[in-house]
Structure 1
Amino acid sequence: MKTIVIGVIGADVHAVGNKIIEYTLNKEGYNVVNVGVLSSQEDFINAAIETSASLIMVSSLYGQGELDCRGMRDKCEESGLDQILLYVGGNIVIGKQDFTEVEKRFKEMGFNRVYPPGIKIEDVLSTIKQDLGGN
């Protein structure tokens, strides 16, 4: 069974979507470790190390995701998580920005998958299965 670490990064307290993600991934047969809201990069990374996770899924809804996520890939690699998959989604930037540009910036920061505001976890499941090679 593959382990996925989820949570809400930075000073963000949006818990409802996080709980929906946890419920849906559990229902799909994944082992979900939820670091909750107000989480630092280190919270995600430490949980991934402790549980041998395959994927870290970062949520952010308050618009500061770009600042909160900067340098996360480097920290993962420094911690020995060279192969970890990094997903990010939500309202990850402030204001109306062209999502193609936002996605490009996050991918340059080392994120494997970048999701726009309003995407539902159900719409991401096939990508998760593809990236993780099943459960």
Structure 2
Amino acid sequence: MKKTIVLGVIGADCHAVGNKILEHAFTQAGFNVINIGVLSPQEDFINAAIETNAEAILVSSLYGHGEIDCRGLREKCDEAGLKDILLYVGGNLVVGKQDWNSVEQRFKDMGFNRVYPPGTSPDTAINDLKHDLGVE
């Protein structure tokens, strides 16, 4: 049984190329990918996850405002009945040079299960997702 994931670029970000690369990589890895595209508000991720019974939401952000765009997503997921959904985020999540450990911790404090720095290989997230979903 294929696991379904929702993939998209949050907020006012229009970086489409990386999103397409991720869609291809996760599809090739055997996931059913629901790609909601770019410029996506939190509600679009949540609605897509509900409609498709997804196991995970993968949020991409490359323009530096991911921290603002992602704030409150876990709470909205919980309110929508998605308490157990996996939340992954990756990309250029903050503006400027900041200590990655503190950036990662801030996103984990926001309820994200996995947080990826810029330049992370899709294989890393694919392996983590398979592990977290128990589909080794």
Normalization by structure 1: what TM-score?
Answer: 0.98
Displacement of 1:51 in angstroms is 0.3
AA of the residue aligned to 1:37: V
Displacement of 1:115 in angstroms is 0.3
Residue 88, structure 1, aligned to residue 72, structure 2: no
AA of the residue aligned to 2:63: Y
Displacement of 1:123 in angstroms is 2.1
Report the Cα distance in structure 1 between the residues aligned to 2:126 and 2:51, rounded to whole angstroms. Answer: 24
Displacement of 1:80 in angstroms is 0.1
Q: Percent of counterpart pairs with the same letter?
A: 66
Report the Cα distance in structure 1 between the residues aligned to 2:85 and 2:8, rounded to whole angstroms. Answer: 16
Report the Cα distance in structure 2 between the residues aligned to 1:32 and 1:71, rounded to whole angstroms. Answer: 23
Displacement of 1:125 in angstroms is 1.6
1:117 counterpart residue number? 118
Structure 2: 5+ residue runs without aligned partners? none
Alignment of 1:37-76 (within 5 A): 37-76=38-77
Report the Cα distance in structure 2 between the residues aligned to 1:120 and 1:16, rounded to whole angstroms. Answer: 14
Displacement of 1:103 in angstroms is 0.4
AA of the residue aligned to 1:126: N
2:104 counterpart residue number? 103
Q: Which has the higher strand share?
A: 2
Residue 11, structure 1, aligned to residue 12, structure 2: yes
2:34 counterpart residue number? 33
AA of the residue aligned to 1:107: K
AA of the residue aligned to 1:127: D
User: Over aligned residues, Cα RMSD in angstroms?
Assistant: 0.8
Report the Cα distance in structure 2 between the residues aligned to 1:44 and 1:14, rounded to whole angstroms. Answer: 16
- 4+ aligned runs moved over 2 Å, structure 1: none
Displacement of 1:46 in angstroms is 0.2
Structure 1: 5+ residue runs without aligned partners? none
